[in-house]
Amino acid sequence: MKNKNEKGLLIILSGPSGVGKETVRTRLMKIKDFDLVYSVSMTTREPRNKEVDGINYYFVTQEEFKHNIEIGNFLEYAKFVGNYYGTPMDKVEALRNEGHNVLLEIEINGASQVMSKVKDDRMISFFLMPPSLKALEERIRNRKTESEEVILERLNKGKEEMTKTQNYDYVILNDRINRAAEEIKDLIDKKLNITK
């Protein structure tokens, strides 16, 4: 659904660590009609097992990240459980100006920066909610990527995030991944058609 005469849609996907954002994102990216481009973030976090620099994240040092803050390179950035994460601005704008729809998978502080910075109505935001805290904890633990300390910090952060969803357009219950992804797909579809 690329339209060269119109700015691409900016899609924000947030939700607590372990809720399944990446799975939902992967489903959405497969929908050819959406012409969705994933905005690769910059982070100071260490890569996990299979993560690849430039695909999952741009993995940088604290110094590099700070330099990017200083030169105003971020659309938004935030600190999350001891590491910095940020969305490089230039790519997002260039892609949207070319009519591509851009997906940001970011935490809530960054999302609220984007919501106040981006003034056009070509934006839609989703907060993915776990069915329960128990389910969330199971998911984080099953991932086996974090230490006990980090797991607990991420769970606490998740609980906090789940109380601050009021600025999102939609809070989507991730009871079943297929259903949640389908719900988001339908809402994006509607938005793309409505604002055309």
Q: What residue ranges bind ligand 5GP (CB under 6 A)?
A: 17, 21, 41, 45, 76-78, 80, 85-87, 105-107, 110
User: Sign (positive/negative) of CA torsion 101, 106, 107, 111?
Assistant: negative
How would you write the chain as a 3-class SS string?
Answer: CCCCCCCCCEEEEECCCCCCHHHHHHHHHCCHHHCEEECCEEECCCCCCCCCECCCEEECCHHHHHHHHHCCCEEEEEEECCEEEEEEHHHHHHHHHCCCEEEEECCHHHHHHHHHHCCCCCEEEEEEECCCHHHHHHHHHHHCCCCHHHHHHHHHHHHHHCCCCCCCCEEEECCCHHHHHHHHHHHHHHHHHHCC
Which among 81, 84, 85 is positioned nearest to 150, based on CA atoms? 81
State in angstroms the smallest separation of the CB of 106 from ligand 5GP.
Answer: 4
CB-nearer residue toward ligand 5GP: 107 or 168: 107
Q: How far is the CB of 85 from ligand 5GP (least distance, A)?
A: 3
Residue 1 or 165: which CB sits closer to ligand 5GP? 165
* Of residues 2 and 48, the one with the C-beta less far from ligand 5GP: 48
Nearer to ligand 5GP, 17 or 174 (CB): 17
CB 183 to ligand 5GP: min, Å: 19
13/61 Cα distance (integer angstroms): 25
Between 20 and 110, CB nearer to ligand 5GP:
110
- With CB atoms as reference, the residue minimizing the distance to ligand 5GP is 110
- Tell me how far, at minimum, the Cβ of 19 lies from ligand 5GP, in Å: 9
**Considering the complex, what minimum distance in angstroms separates the CB of residue 194 from ligand 5GP?**
27
Of 96 and 107, the one with the shorter C-beta distance to ligand 5GP is: 107
Residue 35 C-beta: closest distance to ligand 5GP, Å = 21
